[in-house]
Amino acid sequence: MILGTGIDIVNMERIAHLITRWGDLFLSRVFTPNEIARCRDRANSSECFAVRFAAKEAFLKAVGTGFDKGIHWKDIEVANDSSGKPFLLFYRTALEWTRTLGVRRSFLTLSHDRPYAVAHVLLEGGDDESCHG
């Protein structure tokens, strides 16, 4: 059963400007150490940061809370499996919300084409037999 879906689009130039202006202050407020390390290893790190920013926003839309319910940027982490496929990790308040909603699996799609980065999040849960956690 689908519990929520969210999509977000971000202008990569906006994120690049924020990084240039605020540097580590911005990065450490929004991204986990793992995300920062992964993106800094990329040739064009601003694209990597922008698509992760969009993923966090898309998750907030999927759960329907926004930041009003205590979820913080770093409660949501975008990671990649060994083949490069992105997935979400949840901590603290984001983890509590996924448990409260009964989320069994989350699906994440990321894409970018200058000047935009886009992310889509789908949350699955319930007792539906098609849900494999």
Residues 24-76: tens digit of each pLDDT: 999 999 999 999 999 999 989 999 999 999 999 999 999 997 777 789 999 99
User: Which CATH number fits the domain that encloses residue 108?
Assistant: 3.90.470.20
Q: Is residue 115 part of a domain?
A: yes
Q: Is residue 63 part of a domain?
A: yes
Taking Cα atoms as reference points, which of 82, 79, 100, 3 lies closest to residue 36?
79
Q: Is residue 130 part of a domain?
A: no
Q: What are phi and psi of 98, to 5 degrees?
A: -65, -35
Q: What are phi and psi of 105, to 5 degrees?
A: -145, 150
Q: Is residue 48 part of a domain?
A: yes
Grade residue 126 by pLDDT with cuts at 50, 70 and 90. Answer: confident
Return the pLDDT at 129. 52
Q: Is residue 132 part of a domain?
A: no
Q: Is the pLDDT of residue 130 over 70?
A: no
Q: Is residue 18 part of a domain?
A: yes
Q: Is residue 28 part of a domain?
A: yes
Number of domains in the chain: 1
Q: Is residue 57 part of a domain?
A: yes
Sign of CA dihedral 26, 29, 34, 35: negative
The pTM of the whole model exceeds 0.85: yes
The range of the structural domain enclosing residue 69 comes to 2-125
Q: What is the pLDDT of residues 77-112, one digit of tens each?
A: 999 999 999 999 999 999 999 999 999 999 999 999
User: H or E element: which one contains 123?
Assistant: strand 116-125
